Amino acid sequence: MITEMQLTNFKAHKNTKLALGSLTVLVGVNGMGKSSTIQALLLLRQSYLSNESFNNGLIVNGDLIQIGKVGNLFNIEANEVDLLNISLKKGNKNFKWSIKYEDTSKDFVLFNRKPAKVSEIPLFNEKFQYISSHRIAPTEKHVKNDLFVELKKQISQTKGQGELAAHFLSHNRNQEIPIELRHPNFKENPFLSDQVNAWMGEISPNINIIIRNDEIGNVITLRFRFEQENLNTYTPEFIPENVGYGISQVLPVIVAVLSAQQGSLILLENPELHLHPNGQAKLVELLAKAAQYGIQIIAETHSDHIINGILVQCKRFRTEGHGINREHVKIYYFDRSEKGHYVEAKEVFILENEKITNAPKGFFDQMRKDYRELLK
C-alpha cells in the first residue's frame, strides 16, 4: 500500500503531503487540487505504460490523461530554479520523480531524478484500476479489447471511462470473490457475476445483468432485466438507454472493486455519480469492505452521503466487527491558501464515537446553512 504521497510545485500544489490510508477521500470545492492529486498518479502510470519512455521522463498526453504541455504541470508560482517533485512512500521505501522547469512548451519532459525499481507499487502493475468521472454513457454495445482485459486486467483503456467493464465482467464472470467482499445476503454465491448482480441490486432492486458475446460484431452486448418476485418471473430485457442512468455509471465501479486483489490500488472519481442517497450508502458499504480487506482506494467526492456512509461503516466496525476501522480512513479537505496561488490539504479526523473533528469551514456544511436560512 502507498502510505504517503507528496507533491511539490505540481499544478495547484506548492508542497502538499498526504498520509494515505486504505480508504483515502479527497473533498473540497471545485478547482482546489483534488483531481490534480489523482492526475499526478496517472501521469506516472501513463509514462510507465509507454515502457521505454518511462526510463527517460513524463509523457504529458496519453490514454489516461491529457495535460497539454509541460508548462501546465508546474504551479503558477514556480520558476526556472524550481523542481517539480512527485514522491511516494511504500512501507519503508521512498520513490521520487523530479523534473526541471524547462522545455515547458513540449509534451514530454526528461526526469531530473527517478527511482530505480517501481514494479512492486500497484500503480505500475496489473493490480490497478482507474474509474474517472467521465464514464461512458449508457449503451447496448460495448467494445472488446482482449489485450487490456485478459493480460493487463483493466476495465478502462481511455481516460478511466470504464468502457471495458462489460467485456471484463464477461471474461471474468467465474472469478471467485473472497467472502470478505461478498454481499451479506449472498455469501454462498461466490462468483463475480453473482456478486455484481447482488450489489447492483442495492442500487436498483431485483436487477439482473445480461451480457452476451457477439462474435460476429466483436462486441459485448449489455442489457438488464428485473425479477418480478411475486410472479417468480423476469421482465423483458431492457437496453441500458432505457433504464436509470446511474446503473450504467456505477457498474464499472462495482466490477472494479469486486474483482480487485489484496494490495490493489483503485482510483475513483465521484463514485456517487447519478446515484440516489441509499445507493451511495450501499456503495460505501462495499468500498469499506474492500478497504478493510486490503484494497487501497483513493476517491474524490462531492457527496456528504459518501462521508456519512463512511462514518456508518466505521461505527459498524466498532460495534459489529464489519465495515472499516476508522484508523484505515483518511479524509482531506482541499482549499485555497491565503498565502499564495496554491492549495492546502487539511486532514479531517474521525473520533472514536464517529464524530468528525478538525473540519474546516466549507466541509459539507451547506445543509446546515440551508436549514438555518429556512428557520429564520
- Kindly report the pTM of this predicted structure: 0.94
> Does residue 282 contact residue 206 with C-beta atoms inside 8 Å?
no
Q: Please choose, from the candidates 26, 21, 8, 3, the residue with its C-alpha nearest in 3D space to the C-alpha of residue 121.
A: 3
173 exposed, middle or buried (CB, 10 Å; 0-12, 13-18, 19+)? middle
Report d(CA 115, CA 120) in Å as an integer: 12
User: Domain ranges in the chain?
Assistant: 1-127+261-376, 136-259
Q: Please choose, from the candidates 288, 290, 359, the residue with its C-alpha nearest in 3D space to the C-alpha of residue 324.
A: 288
The set of residues, in sequence order, having a beta carbon less than 8 Å from that of 258 and lying 6+ positions away, is: 177, 181, 192, 195, 196, 199, 286
Give the architecture (CATH level 2) of 1-127+261-376. Answer: 3-Layer(aba) Sandwich (3.40)
Q: How far is CA 58 from CA 18, 40, 304, in A?
A: 22, 10, 35
169 exposed, middle or buried (CB, 10 Å; 0-12, 13-18, 19+)? buried
C-alpha cell at 31: 478547482
Report d(CA 17, CA 34) in Å as an integer: 13
* pLDDT by residue, tens only, the chain of 376 residues: 999 999 999 999 999 999 999 999 999 988 778 999 999 999 999 998 886 555 678 999 999 999 999 999 999 888 888 899 999 999 899 999 999 988 889 999 888 888 878 888 999 999 999 999 999 999 999 999 999 999 999 999 999 999 999 999 999 999 999 999 999 999 999 999 999 999 999 999 999 999 999 888 789 999 999 998 777 788 999 999 999 899 999 999 999 999 999 999 999 999 999 999 999 999 999 999 999 999 999 999 999 999 999 999 999 999 999 999 999 999 999 998 878 788 899 999 999 999 999 888 888 777 788 778 778 7
